[in-house]
Amino acid sequence: MKVPVAAVALLLFPLFAYAQARKEAATPKMNAIEPALTREDVRKVSSALDRYTQDRVMGDLWKRPDLSRRDRSIVTLAALIARSQTGEMPYYLSVALDNGVKPGEISEIITHLAFYSGWPNAMSAVAVTKNVFRRRGVRSDQLPPAAAELLPLNEAAETQRAARVQQDFGTVAPGVVQYTADVLFRDLWLRPVLAPRDRSLVTVSALIAAGQVAQIPYHLNRAMDNGLTKAQASELLTHLAFYAGWPNVFSALPMAKGVFEGRPR
């Protein structure tokens, strides 16, 4: 008895669909980016480091409640860029996108840190990020334009800041003073895609990660003026202990303490 071709196809379709599903499940997604090192890689060098990574960093630190996973991603990216640590950057860029950091915000983080961590560090981040964006299907229209309508400037606060800097350093490096006012505080800080609170989060994280403690009081106060809470600032320090090292964080703790104690209760 001959079986119609259509009937054979109908019988085989479930098997084909099952095999295809298994194949897709076993194939990594195009936009999935794994850590630079597998757990097995780490265990071949230090099983203790693997245990701390899984138990303390991934299993505990990232789940603490006072800083959202989105904020933790911003803090981590700022630390990696500030320290030009590109090895882990693809993984944490992908994690940041999964945690709700928008491509345009990542673009602005890199641009911001060109000024606060140096052009070479920003360009190193660009070299990594362009590949992550390509794999994640990020389009050019998802990124900020070169020039945008700026946020309103707090003229009184900026005038006060500029006068203080001019008085302290105007005769030492007038070019630095001019660029600080014209480019940083009257342009960069007013770009709208990265909210002022997040821009402050990036700045404080980068300063701590780079061990630049002298600038922390001004920028931590500015961050809290921009909406960062004391609990969030405290948790930022805790997070950076793991990603920038205990010595950098302990160097920043006296500065943070002075800011916390000096602000109105």
Q: What is the pTM of this model?
A: 0.87
Does residue 23 surpass a pLDDT of 80?
Answer: no
- The residue to which tokens 């076993």 are assigned: 26
Predicted pLDDT of residue 12: 45
State how far the Cα of 42 lies from the Cα of 39, in Å rounded to an integer: 5
Does residue 255 surpass a pLDDT of 80?
Answer: yes
Residues 6+ apart with CB under 8 A from 73: 92, 95, 96, 99, 101
More confident residue, 129 or 34: 129
pLDDT tens-digit series, residues 117-133: 999 999 999 999 999 99
Q: Which CATH class is domain 39-142?
A: mainly alpha
More confident residue, 128 or 264: 128
State how far the Cα of 67 lies from the Cα of 73, in Å rounded to an integer: 10
* Average pLDDT rounded to a whole number, residues 163-185: 98
pLDDT band at 16 (very low <50, low <70, confident <90, very high): very low
Q: If DSSP codes are grouped into helix, strand and coil, which group holds residue 54?
A: helix
Does residue 172 surpass a pLDDT of 50?
Answer: yes
pLDDT tens-digit series, residues 178-189: 999 999 999 999
Does residue 102 surpass a pLDDT of 90?
Answer: yes
Contact call for residues 185 and 219 (beta carbons, < 8 A): no
Give the start-to-end residue ranges of the domains of the chain.
39-142, 152-190
Does residue 4 surpass a pLDDT of 80?
Answer: no
Predicted pLDDT of residue 15: 42
pLDDT tens-digit series, residues 39-86: 999 999 999 999 999 999 999 999 999 999 999 999 999 999 999 999
Residue 71, Cβ density class (10 Å: 0-12 exposed, 13-18 middle, ≥19 buried): buried
Predicted pLDDT of residue 153: 97
pLDDT band at 173 (very low <50, low <70, confident <90, very high): very high
Residue 186, Cβ density class (10 Å: 0-12 exposed, 13-18 middle, ≥19 buried): middle
Contact call for residues 137 and 94 (beta carbons, < 8 A): no
Over its C-alpha atoms, the chain yields an Rg (Å, rounded) of: 24
pLDDT band at 8 (very low <50, low <70, confident <90, very high): very low
State how far the Cα of 101 lies from the Cα of 94, in Å rounded to an integer: 10
In the chain, pLDDT over 70 holds for what percent of residues? 88
Predicted pLDDT of residue 22: 42
Cβ-count burial 142-167 (b if 16+ within 10 Å, e if not): ebbeeeeeeeeeeeeeeeebbeeeee
Predicted pLDDT of residue 33: 84
| C-alpha pair distances (Å), 194 with each of 16, 38, 132 | 48, 33, 20
Comparing C-alpha atoms, which of 185, 262, 160, 264 is closest to residue 217?
Answer: 262
* Average pLDDT rounded to a whole number, residues 225-253: 98
Q: Which of 29-33, 56-60, 138-142, 218-222 is the least confident region?
A: 29-33
Does residue 13 surpass a pLDDT of 70?
Answer: no
- Mean pLDDT over each residue of the chain, to the nearest integer: 91
Contact call for residues 164 and 123 (beta carbons, < 8 A): no
Predicted pLDDT of residue 2: 53
